[in-house]
Amino acid sequence: MKYKTRKEGRYTVVELMGDVDLSCSVDARKVILEFLKGGRNVLVELSQVTYIDSSGVASLVEGYQTARKKELKFGLVGVSDAALSVIQLARLDKVFPIHATVEERLREDG
């Protein structure tokens, strides 16, 4: 897994790329929580994710829960088919705010 971060409006976008599995999900968790603990709203872009397992999904869930506790915004954007199928299987598509693009999320926020 590789990742990049950038600022978009009131959000930090964490773009994950490649396989998000047990061997690297701790890194995904660390970077997501780092920005949330710093008081930033976070969007996780998953358009380049080719595979995600339960440990990767758990990192997203922890990010979502941390954001809620801190009253910050958290969401997923550009979710690849591979990632979406796992998220839907866990029925988390009903929990996570999911948007097609960062721009769509920014428009929704007004």
Q: What is the pLDDT of residues 53-109, one digit of tens each?
A: 999 999 999 999 999 999 999 999 999 999 999 999 999 999 999 999 999 999 988
Number of domain units in the chain: 1
Confidence of residue 4 (pLDDT cuts 50, 70, 90): very high
Residue 110 lies in a domain: no
Full 3-state SS string of the chain = CEEEEEEECCEEEEEEEEEECCCCHHHHHHHHHHHHHCCCEEEEEEEEEEEECHHHHHHHHHHHHHHHHCCCCEEEECCCHHHHHHHHHCCHHHCCCEECCHHHHHHHHC
pLDDT of residue 86: 96
Range(s) of the domain holding residue 61? 2-104
Q: Write the CATH number for 38.
A: 3.30.750.24
Q: What is the pLDDT of residues 8-22, one digit of tens each?
A: 999 999 999 999 999
Are the C-beta atoms of residues 67 and 73 closer than 8 Å to each other?
Answer: yes
